[in-house]
Structure 1
Amino acid sequence: MKKKIIPLLAMSTVLVLSVATACKKEAGKPVPNQIDSIAQNRVDSAGTVQNNVNKEAVLKQTNDEVLKALKDKDYTTFASLIHPEKGVRFSMYAYVDVKEDKHFSKADFEKYQPTKTLFTWGAHDGSGDPYKATINDYLSKWVFSKDFTTSQYSVNKFIGGGNSLNNLKEIYPKDDFTENYIKGTEKYGNMDWKTVRFVFEEFQGKYYLVAVLNDQWTI
């Protein structure tokens, strides 16, 4: 009887040790569902970062296309970047006046751009005199009054800021915007800075212009 009991005890001891070792190996390890969840979270996070990087790259590219079109006075290309359904609004200064600022549908822009038709774009700060000009003159003399292709760039962040009210984020809370800023000169106490901002909205997988805003020091 003793010879039979000893092997049974030994087998029991081995079994207990094996189970204990297995438990130690598994201790702290997530179960398969937890592993899947952690992996998915990592993929989602990486995807979000990648999407943000791609989005910023596309916005920069589109921003540069707009600037190049303005510099070259290529208003056919500029028109192709206008939002097909919402058109584009032009604001002379940082404050967006949805009732008074000049707004064009893409079709109207293409219709009137080649003509000598005068439009009232707003009023000069200080004097209050209305600013009247053709589309071409407004774009070349006001919007692109300096070579903004050499400016400081930012996306969804303001660089320039003066004493005029800036309500861009209130009017376009869900849209992305870019800024192209040229700092002022020492001659004028750095107050002769200028900037132009473009507001973009995605439509069918592409970003289009919905607004063009200029900003500068005002009296």
Structure 2
Amino acid sequence: MRRMYPLLIAALLALLLAGCGAKTDSAGTVVVPSSLPSADSSFGIEPTVKSSSEASATPSDRTPSDSKSTDSPDDAELKDVAQEVVELLRERDLGSLVQWIDPELGLRFSPYSHMNPDSDLVFKPDTLPTFKDAKKLKWGTADGSGEPIELSFREYYEKFVYDKDYGDAPNVSVNKILGTGNVEFNGTEVYPNASYVEFHYPGFDEKLEGMDWESLILVFVPSQNDRKLVAIVHGQWTI
């Protein structure tokens, strides 16, 4: 029986090689193929490939939906009006600006966010000073020192009206104050039913961490089917 073991092993080896594609030559010698199918071969089965339409879209493939403005129609209209006025301030076009002034309430100038009805100067359309007026006027009291703010109209304009290019302010808000500090904006208390637009710079020097913010606030009241400008307010960090 033991003599048959080598014969059985040889027969099994021959069958195994034949299954792997081995052949025998004319002399009966087993010929082993030079290469065997690799482990990842498809063995003649074509791989299934999804078309581009079948492939699922990745986040980068998706087109984001168009962002819509959150402004209501009234807010959008007020913002457009304020933008038109701020362009007049940028151009120093006082002749066109007076057409926006409310003829009864006049135009108030407030050097700080908190209006002071006792000290703020208010001008009717026909009494608005010009840049040629050299007369010093008292516009209120300076924050911190308490000294009177005595400036010509041009000087006040360059310091408390258009001291920055607010027409290009990075933040514009409607009926919401962005620049905050220890002085509160009281525009709707002085002018009930008023609306306002703030042109805001959050700061200029990173080291000051926003304590150098500045704003221009335009206050409007409804007038028939239009709006009239009643206040130009300068906002900044106060002590």
Both proteins in one fold, TM over 0.5? yes
User: Per-residue deviation at 1:112?
Assistant: 5.2
Match of 2:166 in 1: 148
Report % sequence identity. Answer: 34
| Counterpart pick for 2:88 among 49, 55, 69 | 69
Structural mapping, 1:113-192, within 5 Å: 114-151=132-169, 152-184=171-203, 185-192=205-212
Question: What is the letter of the counterpart of residue 134 of structure 2?
Answer: K
* Two-structure CA RMSD over aligned residues (Å): 1.8
Deviation at 1:169, TM superposition (A): 2.5
Which of 105, 113, 118 is the aligned partner of 1:99? 118
CA offsets 1:173-211 (integer angstroms, 9 cap, x no match): 311111111011313222100011111012232111111
Give secondary structure in 1 for the equivalent of 2:182: coil
The CA distance in 1 between the partners of 2:149 and 2:220, in whole Å, is 25
CA displacement 1:34-73 (0-9 Å, x = unmatched): xxxxxxxxxxxxxxxxxx9442232112211221111111
Cα pair 2:94 2:130 within 8 Å, conserved: no
Q: Which of the residues 207, 214, 219 maps onto 1:199?
A: 219
Larger relative contact order, structure 1 or 2 (CA cutoff 8 Å, min sep 6): 1
Report SS of the residue matched to 2:164.
coil
Structure 2, gaps ≥5 residues long? 1-70
Distance 1:53 1:166 in 2: 23
Check the 8 A contact 1:70/1:140 in 2, yes or no: no
- The one of 79, 88, 103 equivalent to 2:107 is 88
Higher Cα radius of gyration = 2
Is the CA contact (8 Å cut-off) linking 1:124 and 1:131 kept in structure 2?
A: yes
Q: Which residue of 2 aligns with 1:108?
A: 127
Give me the whole-angstrom Cα distance separating, in 2, the residues matched to 1:106 and 1:113.
15
Instruction: Report the CA distance between 1:157 and its aligned residue.
Output: 0.8
Compare the two structures and name the one with the higher helix fraction.
Answer: 1
Query: 1:80 & 1:204 partners in 2: Cα distance?
Result: 15
Contact 2:138 2:151 in 1 (8 A): yes
CA distance in 2, matches of 1:115, 1:144: 17
Unaligned runs of 5+ in 1: 1-51
The DSSP-based 3-state class of the residue aligned with 1:139 is helix
Q: Does 1:55 align with 2:74?
A: yes
Opposite residue 235 of structure 2, the aligned amino acid is D
